[in-house]
Amino acid sequence: MRPVRIYNRKIMGENLIKLKILGGLALVALSILIIYNLPLTLGLDIQGGTRLVLEARSTDSVKAGDDAVSGVMAVVRNRIDALGVTEPIIQRKGSNQIVVELPGVKNPEHAIKVLGETALLEFAEAEWSPGDESVLTQEKVEQVYGKGARLDKVISYKNGERESERPIIIKNSVLTGADLKGAWPSVDEYGNPVVDIEFNAKGAGIFANATERSVGRPIAILLDKKIISAPTVREPIPSGKAQISGNFTIEEVQDLVVQLKGGSLPVPVDIVGTKIVGPTLGRDSLDKSKIAGAVGFLAIVVFMILYYRLPGVLAVISLVIYFFLTLAVLSVLRTTLTLPGIAGFLLSIGMAVDANVIIFERLKEELRLGKNIRIAVDVSFKRAFTAILDSNVTTIIAAMTLFWLGTGTIKGFAVTLIAGISVSMFSAIVITKFLMDLMIDWKMVDSADSGLLYRGFGKK
Amino acid sequence: MNIIGKRNLWFAVSAVLIALGIFGFSYNILVRGQAMNFGIDFTGGSITTLRFEQSANVTSRLAEVRKVLSSFHFKESVIQKEGDNDVSIRTEPLDAEIRTQMMAELEKTFGRVELLEADTIGPVIGAELRSQAFWALLIATIGILIYVSFRFEFKYAVAAVIALWHDALITVGLIALLYRSVDTAFIAAILTIMGYSINDTIVIFDRIRENIINQKKGKVSFSEIANTSVLQTMARSINTVLTVLVMNVCLLLFGGATLKDFALTLLIGFTLGGYSSIFIASPILVMLEGSLGKPTKKPS
């Protein structure tokens, strides 16, 4: 370590002082401007909403690898957009999880259902079961109708009541939702809610062929491997247009349209975590945090001024500047303000005065050595610098680990902490130093015995 | 005042605190079946927090709440009051349908019920959190070790890390003893404690480093230098912790329910952090230096 070079700082010229003060005020003004124009997004825990953790599950045919998870994310994003949620957050977490945050969603159960379903739409050639299906084993079905064929049943409803069921043989699936061009909610001729679909060119071609082959036989429409209907083909359909009916309610039709438009998930997902925060709780907590912050801030102000007198007042001024600067930095970083984030910010206020305390205590020592106050101030800032830097870097190392570990709310906490600590070094070392220089140049304090300093400042 | 000389006293104090924690763990394991009050973040499960109407006077009728819920045959459920009109219900993972039914049943007895918060976590996430917490603590420790070794010396880094593990360990132990619920935020709190508690330690080490450089030709022992440095920095060690504790106490007293356990953990940890930088870190550094009484050479 190099010894500290001691030199006699020149008295600042009046223009320089004016310039620096103006610069400081401009910085604060800019911060306030930023805070107002780029308001911080409130986290889910404050404004209420739903947070889901989805986990992609491997199937026999598709592994839940990078591609599949990216595919799931794209589909989930499409569906969320179709649901009309503003400012959703969709993040990858770990190798196969996706965190979805839907602020302000009023009906979380609905969102969970729409996002979590695979919505794999399939059109399969089929045949009505010829007779006594109780004797049909899976082996026999495959023997007669080809590999992959299976026995299932179509359930028909009337007025929402289960009316009858009819055994059906599902053969190969010919088309999936991937070949859709569009889907719309509609009603059939009896006024029942249905979904109108249209295939793209490739899908239309396949559909035309399939319907041609299947005249007089049913085509099964399956959603997530469940039969929703099995209309009998009367004539080939070359247009690529079809209608899906299946005892839907209007809501179900709308959800299905959202899911079909967004595409089906490439692999199934499990919902491994959900968090629903009602709007009341968040508002409550926010108000309480504000009170806690205000009282804490005031207590620190009183402590600093009573203990350190004029330097304490200067520290409080830089603390106020710190407050605005940090909020502005958080705004620029587009941080989401969560409750732990607010806690982190409030704690960082307590930590921000630390640097000032370290400097002032050092100043006390330097003055006790009988140094001239001007030199003592310079030396104490210089000497305190390494302590402030090293101690803050170690805190930042821990906060970075937290950032890496955390999701959502905890990340928010880590970001506020890191931003706060970084800004606090600036405010203590640059702003407080300038104010202290000013205090000396304006001869507010000219000796260590001044009553404006802490009693022990100059005494042994 | 000879702080380094009385180190056995401080070590004894810390040993008692650690023993309290171990007692807490053992008691919890024997009586409650788990070492700490692990929240659903760790174990998986659901917590549903409901707000009842004031006239329902629900907090004095928890037995009735329990009775209503018994019809759902949850494997295990813990019902707690959270405030005057709020009740939290911890169960195995619930899906939306059952939660809606549960609220409907409660409304039959208690009138309108508002959903404040519903948190459901599958067991997978819990297992992940445990391993992530472990890695986070390890990586933070290594990061700090490297940085402090680089800025000071390896033995300073070791002493600092021992002090901050001391803080973390005792905090975890005391939280176990108090049987406060621990969740993701608890891990965050422990990491923050580690990050912040080292702050004051570094300030003292910085002073030791400076005093070694400035000493007159190796007449003073390392232990004396360390003691002087601790005393010289005492006021700032106390004041820096004090300002943060002030904010912390305010969060604990006035902050929302969500932050209470978080603030309490930090309060314990930060207090210990202040204590350990003065009474633990420096004595350990002196022991590592292995030169109690021996003059220290100036670093070249």
Same domain, B63 and B195: no
A314 vs A355: CA distance, rounded Å: 13
In a domain, B72, yes or no: yes
Nearest chain B alpha carbon to A4: B210
Q: Are residues B166 and B93 part of one domain?
A: no
In chain A, CATH 1.20.1640.10 sits at 14-43+278-441
Measure A363 CA to nearest chain B CA, in Å: 11
Identify whether B1 is part of a domain. no
Q: How far is B236 from chain A (nearest CA, A)?
A: 6
The count of domains in chain B is 2
A91–B contact, CB cutoff 8 A:
no
CATH code 3.30.1360.200 region(s) in chain A: 121-248
Domain boundary among B121, B146, B165: B121
**B185 inside 8 A of chain A by CB:** yes
- Pair (B59, B105) in one structural domain: yes
Question: Residues A409, B167, A429, CA angle at the centre, nearest 5°?
Answer: 70
B179/B248 same-domain check: yes
Q: Does residue B63 sit at the A interface (CB-CB below 8 Å)?
A: no
> Any CB–CB contact under 8 A between B231 and chain A?
no
B98 and B110 belong to one structural domain: yes
Q: Is the ipTM of this complex over 0.95?
A: no
Question: For chain A, give me the number of helices (H) and strands (E)?
Answer: 12, 14
Q: Mutate which of B41, B192, B229, B270 to disrupt the A interface (most A C-beta within 10 Å)? A: B192
| Angle formed at CA A59 by CA A264 and CA A137, multiple of 5 degrees | 100
B171 & B26 share domain: yes
Q: What CATH number belongs to A121-248?
A: 3.30.1360.200
Q: Are residues B274 and B182 in the same domain?
A: yes
**Residue B196 maps to which CATH number?**
1.20.1640.10
How far apart (Å, rounded) are the C-alpha atoms in residues B70 and A310? Answer: 64
A405 contact residues in B (CB cutoff 8 A): 132-133, 135-136, 187, 191
A350–B248 CB contact, under 8 Å: yes
Decide if B96 and A108 are in contact by the 8 Å CB cutoff. Answer: yes
Question: What is residue A360's three-state secondary structure?
Answer: helix
Q: Are residues B81 and B100 in the same domain?
A: yes
3-state secondary structure of B280: helix
Bridge partners of A372?
A: none
List the 90-109 stretch of B: residues with Cβ below 8 A of A: 96-97, 100
Please report whether residue B91 resides in a domain.
Answer: yes
What does the alpha-carbon distance between residue A34 and residue A332 come to, in Å, rounded to a whole number? 8
Q: Which of A274, A383, A417 sits opposite B120 (nearest CB)?
A: A274
Tokens 């042994």 sit on residue: A460
Q: Is B134 found in the same domain as B112? A: no
- Rounded to whole angstroms, how far apart are CA atoms B239 and B274? 10
Per-residue pLDDT, A1:
47
pTM score of the predicted model: 0.80
Q: Fill in the DSSP letter of residue B120.
A: E
Contact between residue A180 and residue A119 where contact means Cβ atoms under 8 Å apart:
no
Identify whether residues B143 and B206 lie together within a single domain: yes
What pLDDT was estimated at residue A282?
A: 80
For residue B299, is it within any domain?
A: no
| pLDDT at residue number B293 | 46
What architecture is domain A14-43+278-441?
Answer: Up-down Bundle (1.20)
What's the one-letter identity of residue B233? Answer: T
For residue A350, give the nearest of B105, B250, B211 by alpha carbon: B250
Residues A136-143: contacts with CB under 8 Å, at least 24 apart: A141/A169
Q: Closest Cα of chain A to B241: distance in Å?
A: 8
A395 interaction partners in chain B (CB closer than 8 Å): 195-196, 198-199
Interchain CB contact of B115 with A (< 8 Å): yes
User: What does each of the 460 residues of chain A score in pLDDT, given as a tens digit?
Assistant: 455 555 566 777 778 888 888 888 999 999 999 989 888 888 888 888 888 888 888 877 777 778 888 888 888 888 888 777 777 888 887 788 888 888 877 777 778 888 878 777 888 888 887 766 666 777 777 777 777 778 888 877 766 677 777 888 888 888 887 788 888 888 888 888 888 888 888 888 888 888 888 888 888 888 777 888 888 888 888 888 888 877 788 888 888 888 777 777 778 888 888 888 887 888 888 899 999 999 999 999 999 999 888 889 999 999 999 999 999 999 998 888 888 888 888 988 988 888 899 889 888 888 888 888 888 888 889 888 888 888 888 889 888 888 887 666 677 788 888 999 999 988 988 888 888 888 888 877 777 677 677 655 544 4
Question: Which of A58, A397, A407 to mutate against chain B (most B CBs within 10 Å)?
Answer: A397
Residue B300 lies in a domain: no
pLDDT at A119: 78
Structure tokens at A444: 């507010």
Please check whether residues B77 and B145 belong to one and the same domain. Answer: no
Q: What is the CATH number of the domain that holds B104?
A: 3.30.70.3400
Q: How far apart are CA B223 and CA B199, in angstroms?
A: 21
Taking the C-alpha atoms of residue A278 and residue A282, their distance in angstroms, rounded to an integer, is: 7
User: Structural domain of residue B19, as residue ranges?
Assistant: 7-35+125-289
Given B100, B125, B136, which is nearest A109 (Cβ)?
B100
Q: Mark which of B93, B121, B149 sits at the end of a domain.
A: B121
H or E segment at A31? helix A14-37
A411 touches chain B (CB under 8 A): no
